[in-house]
Structure 1
Amino acid sequence: MQRRDFVRTATLFPLAGSGLLRAQPDWPQRPVKFILSQPAGSGPDILARYVADRLARSWAQPIVIENKPGGQNVIGALAAARSQPDGYTFYYATTAAMVTNAYTFKALPYDPAKDFAPVRLVGRSPFVIAAAANFPARNLKEALALAKAQPGSIAIATEGPKTFSGMLADSVAGMAGVRFNHVPYTKAPDALQDVIGGRVPLVCLPDAALTAYLSSGKVRALAVSTAGRQPGMPDVPALSETFPGFEYTGWNGLFAPAGTPTEVIARVNRDLEAVMQQPEVLQRLQTLGSQAEQRMSVPEFEAFMHSERERWAKLVRQLDIRPE
């Protein structure tokens, strides 16, 4: 062996032993997939497609949206949990799938805490209680008075009594001392068509699912679930104005199947943060009914998830919701 070859080889061995020479191909090298538990055209779907489009531009790889609705998020969540943790499949999830399902199902076929790795919070989504254009009550106070005068006769369209929107409706009803008649829907557009058609007077859904209908005047917003009024809806009272201290906000975020390489999770978090800080993205998400989360590291998202599970465990106990 010539001396220069010996020196070069001797220099490389310590690096090889330390793992610094392991080949790490650039990621992503092929299309990435986002699984959603909601149907195409729903609020989370619209947000996911917009965010995915922005990320795909920086990755120079397409992001495929795969909708797997049904089963109160179970079908999509289970598909994502069982995906290969190779960094090419992610779960674009909502609060219901990653938090509340754990308290409303006796036997959930996936574990939100163990089967997924938090990547990043995307945005917080206020919920809106709205009414059909011809509903006689012009505000929340009048709607609650009507519900009190006609116990159990006022129907409200939700995603089901044990979903995020259903629990919000029950929370409001409980604080007001009234009872709503739940009409569950698996698809937000179907619920809104029934509200517009006058078959159901009230609806409780994420702002993102209602935005187009509110702007067209086909439905009227009565209250928003955040602690204060929203910039995009300055004339719509916050629920806290009727029930002081009350706040009930959903969110959407990106998760990876447990075991996904930490380097990929860190890369996606970093790239998503860059997207969330673009002014046009902030404006667009607000238009779509979501408050963009501009800064959040992976450890911060993990801490956020821990606090969310504690908060919802308390709320479920207060509503006396029994798992089924």
Structure 2
Amino acid sequence: MLQARLAAAQDAWPSKPIKMILSQPAGSGPDNVARLLGDGLGHALGQPLVIDNKPGGQNLIGAQSAARAPADGYTLYFATTAALVTNSYLFKTLPYDPLKDFVPVAFVANSPFAVLVRADSNIASLPDLVAQSQRDPGKLSIANEGPRTFGGMIARLINARAKAQANLVSYSSVGVALQDIIGGHAQAVVADLASSSQLAKQGRLRVLAVTSSKRVPGWEQVPTAAEYLPGVEMTGWMAVVAPTGTAATTVTRLNAEINRLLALPANAEKILAVGPIPSPGGSPKDFEAFLLEEHKRLAQIVGEIGLLPE
């Protein structure tokens, strides 16, 4: 009888509102994408999808809350690279297991990073930046959000791979770092393209390279860092996962609906306007394989740049 009731409950899913937890605050890039996706999912599933922002603690608060939620299909986690991969190599211990506590649902979008300089800078390319850093060791500064952030790791990887000798300067936020570049207080910055693209479009910053494996739509004239430094590929991303134990039928339906929404041209345009690049079409198994590869790659990069967990 119990099994029959459980099966009936799963067949009736969803019969009440669904909650999607985020580790970022309202108004952030991930929040904007999650709300767009949530509106579409709510209509498709016939139940409201409520965004629950739990920022802070380098994603630990939101991730832990989602990991401990019941695996009944009514709690999802809108995760980023930091929560599911990077944190594993930054902390000696975590209050959740990124691989064991979640089941992959759907990949949502890539969020490339970029190396930028002031628009009137005499640095015209990534090779120029490296060459200048080598001519005057420690004089050229690259702003970033700190060694334990994605931007900071990219800056350190460029230094390591190119044998550059740039001074890496940490800032409290990407916004402050970008303003310091414009003000001439640092020569370059590593920032996510979503945060920096408007300043580039306004002619205040110049994009030297993007850190994705391929050139970015709308920025095809900008080379990838890997075209000059093979293997320098670090792209942030967003995805939906659920607590481990969530019914396979629920995961399959969510995956199909998310992929359908991401493939709609109107939704894709809205996401691109925020910055990330939507990536529909993958299955939960595809996402699972991707996660395992990301862990292998990050482990190698963290070892190369000498970043130790704390």
TM-score, normalised by the number of residues in structure 1: 0.84
Q: Give the aligned partner of residue 7 of structure 1.
A: none
Q: Is the 8 A contact 1:156 1:204 kept in 2?
A: yes
Q: Give the aligned partner of residue 130 of structure 2.
A: 144
Q: Give the aligned partner of residue 281 of structure 1.
A: 267
Could you tell me how far apart the structure 1 residues matched to 2:63 and 2:227 are?
Answer: 35
**Would you say 1:294 and 2:261 are equivalent positions?**
no
Could you say if the C-alpha distance between residues 201 and 55 of structure 1 is closer, same or farther in structure 2, counting changes exceeding 3 Å? farther
- For residues 65-88 of structure 1, the C-alpha deviation after alignment (integer angstroms, 9 at most, x for no partner) is 333333322222222223333322
Please point out which of 188, 191, 203 is paired with 2:174: 188
**Would you say 1:113 and 2:99 are equivalent positions?**
yes
Greater shift after overlay, 236-245 or 122-131?
Answer: 236-245
Could you tell me how far apart the structure 1 residues matched to 2:289 and 2:142 are?
Answer: 34
Q: Give the aligned partner of residue 28 of structure 1.
A: 14
Could you tell me how far apart the structure 2 residues matched to 1:184 and 1:70 are?
Answer: 19
Could you tell me how far apart the structure 2 residues matched to 1:236 and 1:55 are?
Answer: 34
Greater shift after overlay, 293-302 or 195-204?
Answer: 195-204
Q: Give the aligned partner of residue 6 of structure 1.
A: none
What SS does the aligned partner of 1:322 have? coil
Kindly state the Cα deviation for residue 17 of structure 1 after the two structures are TM-superposed: 9.6
Please point out which of 275, 283, 289 is paired with 1:303: 289
Could you say if the C-alpha distance between residues 202 and 76 of structure 1 is closer, same or farther in structure 2, counting changes exceeding 3 Å? farther
Q: Give the aligned partner of residue 58 of structure 2.
A: 72
**Would you say 1:102 and 2:102 are equivalent positions?**
no
Greater shift after overlay, 27-36 or 217-226?
Answer: 27-36
- For residues 237-258 of structure 1, the C-alpha deviation after alignment (integer angstroms, 9 at most, x for no partner) is 2112212454322221111122
**Would you say 1:258 and 2:244 are equivalent positions?**
yes
**Would you say 1:241 and 2:227 are equivalent positions?**
yes
Kindly state the Cα deviation for residue 54 of structure 1 after the two structures are TM-superposed: 2.5
Kindly state the Cα deviation for residue 321 of structure 1 after the two structures are TM-superposed: 2.1
Q: Is the 8 A contact 1:232 1:287 kept in 2?
A: no
What SS does the aligned partner of 2:8 have? coil
Could you say if the C-alpha distance between residues 138 and 186 of structure 1 is closer, same or farther in structure 2, counting changes exceeding 3 Å? same
Partner AA of 2:125 in structure 1: N
Q: Give the aligned partner of residue 42 of structure 2.
A: 56
Kindly state the Cα deviation for residue 18 of structure 1 after the two structures are TM-superposed: 8.0
Q: Is the 8 A contact 1:85 1:259 kept in 2?
A: yes
Kindly state the Cα deviation for residue 39 of structure 1 after the two structures are TM-superposed: 3.1
Q: Is the 8 A contact 2:158 2:232 kept in 1?
A: no
Q: Give the aligned partner of residue 166 of structure 1.
A: 152
* Alignment RMSD: 2.6
Could you tell me how far apart the structure 1 residues matched to 2:294 and 2:88 are?
Answer: 12
- For residues 183-227 of structure 1, the C-alpha deviation after alignment (integer angstroms, 9 at most, x for no partner) is 445643343334334444322222222232322223221101123
What SS does the aligned partner of 1:232 have? coil
Q: Give the aligned partner of residue 13 of structure 1.
A: none
- For residues 79-132 of structure 1, the C-alpha deviation after alignment (integer angstroms, 9 at most, x for no partner) is 222333332222111112111211221122221011211111112222111123
- For residues 277-316 of structure 1, the C-alpha deviation after alignment (integer angstroms, 9 at most, x for no partner) is 2122333333433332221111222222122212222222
Partner AA of 2:109 in structure 1: G
Greater shift after overlay, 270-279 or 195-204?
Answer: 195-204
Q: Is the 8 A contact 2:103 2:241 kept in 1?
A: yes
What SS does the aligned partner of 2:25 have? coil
Could you say if the C-alpha distance between residues 193 and 100 of structure 1 is closer, same or farther in structure 2, counting changes exceeding 3 Å? same
Partner AA of 1:318 in structure 2: E
Could you say if the C-alpha distance between residues 221 and 251 of structure 1 is closer, same or farther in structure 2, counting changes exceeding 3 Å? same
Q: Give the aligned partner of residue 201 of structure 2.
A: 215
When the two structures are aligned, how many residues end up with a matched partner? 309
- Aligned identity (percent) is 43
Radius of gyration: which is bigger?
A: 1
Structure 2 unaligned residues grouped into runs of 5+ = none
**Would you say 1:42 and 2:28 are equivalent positions?**
yes
